[in-house]
Structure 1
Amino acid sequence: MSSKPLAEIKLSAASCAIIISRVACAFLGLSGVLKHDQLLSTSLSSYSQLKEGVFLFRNGLDPYSGGNFRHSPLLLALFSVILPESRTSASLIWTSFDLTGAWALISIWKARQNVGATSKDALINASYLLNPYVFLPTLALSSSTLQNTLTLLSIKFAAEGRASPSLFLLSILLHVDLSTILLLLPILLLLITDPHSHLASPHPLTANLRRTIPLFGKYILYTSILAIASTIITGGVQWIPQTWGATLTLPDLKPNPGMWWYFFTEIFDHFRPFFLMVFSVHLLIYVVPICIKFQYDPLYATFLLLGVLGTFKAYPTLSDPGLFLSTLAVFPEVFSYLRHPIVTALLHLHAALLMPLFNHLWLNTGTGNANFFYASTLVFACANGAALIDAIWAGMRIAIGREVQNYVVVQE
């Protein structure tokens, strides 16, 4: 049997196993248990709030007037049509989102390696579908699962040089989560270059940057059209402060795995605007340095900015760092250059055990307090930061390592 059919059989078997496990979890009723878990969904991605908003919208009421509904009008329109009546059917739809995301990740891998079907496709598939950070938010029916799928599809089309679908999906992402604006610059660079690995041979960007101007114009056009559509759907612009504004002003301080909520719970109100500006700008300052440093490999720069989003965004769930960690599988050339992978893995394990434990002690048994849970999220942030720093270190070291290998060969 040739390697290509064998690879396809392995990929199909892995996908079937995942589908069966997801369906089994749906029938076990885990969605009802996990839907309110603060680690898996936030006010911007909660399925319960999505259902409430859809109910109000279907009955002719403005879901944004109450100040609690923060989903995009695009999601409101979509799920007003396809919102499932039972949790089992909802779990099947969310599983299809994950399967689409896994397919997009495999396509990115193929574009990166410039190959067809390989025996490693099943591993790439499993790195996404079996990642508990990705799997659990799907069981909780968090819309962050759909965000991950849209992100991977946008990167997939950019890696294949298909500008229109990539930028259109990126525009949808902007409406769903304002923080994804960070991905615009590396995806524009990816569209004018190629997705192949150039980490071992860094060089200045040779493509004409002026080619990004019409691409940026197309992105602005798509974003404007979607903004007009959102205004028509809701009958006004009241959706803007409740969706985009929520990311910038942080009106909901419910606990989540991020680092914003506790800080702004404790801060004095007259300092709040200043620190909101500092935290928002802090996200943006990584974009240009990373894109300049890895200008010869914009796909890797996109990967690193996914790590920045997973670590520092305002309303993260476990699926955000989960996407970053799963995407690492696309870059096997950096594995041998990771500096402290065991320490990073242990930090993630430590945080994964502490966060639900301290959350339970605080909110269920009353034997802990907010400091317990926030301390565990700081450990989680250290784990994400360690993974991000390790990835940056490996991406920079691989060129030096290749030069040393070439020097040794020449000397021999």
Structure 2
Amino acid sequence: MGAVVKYVIAGLVRYWLIHTDFWHTLSNRVEIATPLNSWKRLIEGVYLYDQNINPYEGDAFHESPIVLVIFHYLLKHVPYSLPFIFSAMDLLTAYLLYKTSRGFVRIFLNCQEKYLSDVSQESKDMVMTESQLKETSEYVLSVYLFNPYSILNCVGMTTTVLQNMLLAAALCGAAHGYVIISCAFLAFATHQALYPVLLIVPTAMILAEVNKGCNKCSYIKTLLAFVLSWSFVVYISAFIMDGSYNYVYNTYGFILTVPDLKPNIGLFWYFFTEMFEHFRLLFVCAFQINALILYIVPLTLRFKKEPILLVTVLLALSTVFRSYPCVGDVGFYMAFIPMWKHLFTFMQQKFIVACAFIITSALGPTVWHLWIYSGSANANFFFGVTLSFATAQIFLITDLLFAYIKREYTLKNGSSRTIDGKPAKLVLR
């Protein structure tokens, strides 16, 4: 199937589903819409802003002021083109991911060439060729375009569609060595959802690799560009709100303190519903440290030679542990999994993970209906499904990391196993 045909089919599917009778139902599903990205809340915020009422004074709107102004203009001047705009943004995201993966292939080949001398003679056939790696870009494109999670996210017209486009643009800029472009888009994505701030570390590593500047000055330059871009975006948002920074509490503060406990596919809502209020601050800090800080240093130190793998893992971990995740976040990082198809032979839980994704994706809406509409289930049932869904994602991440380590060991030491010069064998007693 040609690339143009893929874009056309994927675009038509999205555009058609937005115009079906199921659109309203999909746009309000807890798996798709959250208090942060909901189309319904965005409409309410735009209406309040149009009436000269500060949308951040209540508890309904939590998007950034820049997004508020953008959609205020679109809803006022071109409301009927919004389905097309959302479909186009999602297709643009797919294209940017395709270009990103092409850039990542070049980085991977350069990194592989550096350590080619360390590969054992027995494992030479495991070295990836350029043709093998380039075909992964087609898989990345197809996985994003036809992933049900990505399609539902677009059909629900959530602002995660915009966030995914910004992240794809930032990674694409990094893969091609554009420091300012990459940092600017990453700052915008961070301003919208906060958790993309994790990607500044692998982004700096990728830019240093592409621009052949693996030194402290290169990293400082990237960090400075990101901080300045983020500061500029924050200032523009304050300017939109007539110089007030009060919106920060209803954007960043809302993400960090998790006051809205409406169920979603994440882990926060159930824990904070069940716990005693005087323990709330402790657990908020523990959960947010886990999502924002805990993994960045050890993973960076261990996979400093593989910034692309670091991007994939950090995207996945931030999706699992963020306060208000949705299927659009899952669909975005899953598009990078085909980049690691050379690790699939070393992965041991592919079938289990695939079955878990399918089963939990089907059980989620079922259990929600039993809980909310039939009254024959309760919150424990739905949380059990979301917990299983998160566990499946963790299994996918750990299996991918272990597969990389196994392949790395095999490349250096070969695949044969000997003890005292004799073939090793496993004996069960």
TM-score, L = length of structure 2: 0.87
Per-residue deviation, 1:23: 2.1
Which letter does structure 2 place at the counterpart of 1:148?
N
1:56-95 alignment to 2 at 5 Å?
Answer: 56-83=48-75, 89-95=81-87
Distance 2:416 2:210 in 1: 28
Check 1:87–1:379 CA distance in 2 against 1; reply closer, same or farther (3 A cut).
farther
Per-residue deviation, 1:120: 5.4
> Do residues 337 (structure 1) and 351 (structure 2) align?
no
Residue by residue over 1:178-232, the C-alpha shift from the partner in whole angstroms, topping out at 9 and shown as x without a partner, is 111111111111111149xxxxxxxxx9921332112211111111111111111
Which letter does structure 1 place at the counterpart of 2:149?
Y
Contact 1:35-1:142 within 8 A present in 2 as well: yes
1:11-410 alignment to 2 at 5 Å?
Answer: 11-83=3-75, 89-114=81-106, 121-194=137-210, 207-235=214-242, 236-283=244-291, 284-405=293-414
Distance 1:347 1:381 in 2: 10
* Pairs aligned (count): 391
Out of 275-284 and 393-402, give the one that drifted further.
393-402
Contact 2:141-2:335 within 8 A present in 1 as well: no
Distance 1:391 1:378 in 2: 20
Per-residue deviation, 1:121: 4.5
Check 1:85–1:317 CA distance in 2 against 1; reply closer, same or farther (3 A cut).
farther
The structure whose Rg is larger is: 2
Distance 2:278 2:137 in 1: 53
Contact 1:163-1:215 within 8 A present in 2 as well: yes
Distance 2:319 2:366 in 1: 21
Distance 1:188 1:119 in 2: 26
Residue by residue over 1:66-90, the C-alpha shift from the partner in whole angstroms, topping out at 9 and shown as x without a partner, is 1221111111011111237898632
Check 1:36–1:13 CA distance in 2 against 1; reply closer, same or farther (3 A cut).
same
State the percentage of identical aligned residues. Answer: 27
Contact 2:74-2:82 within 8 A present in 1 as well: no
Check 1:252–1:389 CA distance in 2 against 1; reply closer, same or farther (3 A cut).
same
Residue by residue over 1:258-286, the C-alpha shift from the partner in whole angstroms, topping out at 9 and shown as x without a partner, is 00001001111110001100001112111
Check 1:330–1:84 CA distance in 2 against 1; reply closer, same or farther (3 A cut).
farther
Which letter does structure 1 place at the counterpart of 2:66?
L
RMSD: 2.2
